[in-house]
Structure 1
Amino acid sequence: MKKYIVFIFSFVLFYMLVQLSSGWVLTAFYMPDLSLTKSSFLPLITSLTIATISYFLSQKLFVKNMK
């Protein structure tokens, strides 16, 4: 049983080492293709609109609660 535990422990340790090192290598050599990126202001405009609506709603509710 002791040999089995040592085998499983070393197997898991080796597996984790291979996974971490391959992830590190893939990350280090990754070159994104910048020609495929699309810059869009739609997420920014949507976020600003939601933030503005939230601000005015909170101000309106806050003023009603103060009266």
Structure 2
Amino acid sequence: MKKYIIFAISFILLFVLFQILSGLVLTYAYTPDIEEAWKMSADAPQETIIRSSGSSFLLTLLIAFAAATITYFIPKKLYSSLY
């Protein structure tokens, strides 16, 4: 059980770190097209509606954590059934 707790904590920390680093790299590499944005702004509505899609990061983290948990226990089940 101790191994699993260490695995789970390290997985969550690495997952969050990689998400932040990938966001930084993608933000740094993004170059906006100003002319295209200006052309598209002519058709934009005058009012802005802000909608939240919820906590998609939390859902992604939970799904990844569930996958990692299943992956952690599969080899143990396979080895115990073989030996």
The normalised TM-score by structure 2 is 0.46
Q: Structure 2, unaligned stretches of length 5 or more?
A: 48-83
- Please say which structure displays the higher CA radius of gyration: 1
Q: Structure 1, unaligned stretches of length 5 or more?
A: 48-67
Alignment coverage as a number of residue pairs = 45
Query: Matched residues, percent identical?
Result: 49
Q: Distance in 2 between matches of 1:40 and 1:30?
A: 23
- Offset, 1:30: 0.8
> 1:42 and 1:24, CA in 2 relative to 1: closer, same or farther beyond 3 A?
closer
Consecutive aligned runs of 4 or more in structure 1 exceeding 6 Å deviation: none
- Offset, 1:13: 0.5
The normalised TM-score by structure 1 is 0.55
Q: Distance in 1 between matches of 2:26 and 2:18?
A: 12
CA RMSD of aligned residues (A): 1.9
C-alpha distance after superposition, 1:32-60 (max 9, x if no partner): 1122122428744xx6xxxxxxxxxxxxx
> 1:34 and 1:2, CA in 2 relative to 1: closer, same or farther beyond 3 A?
same
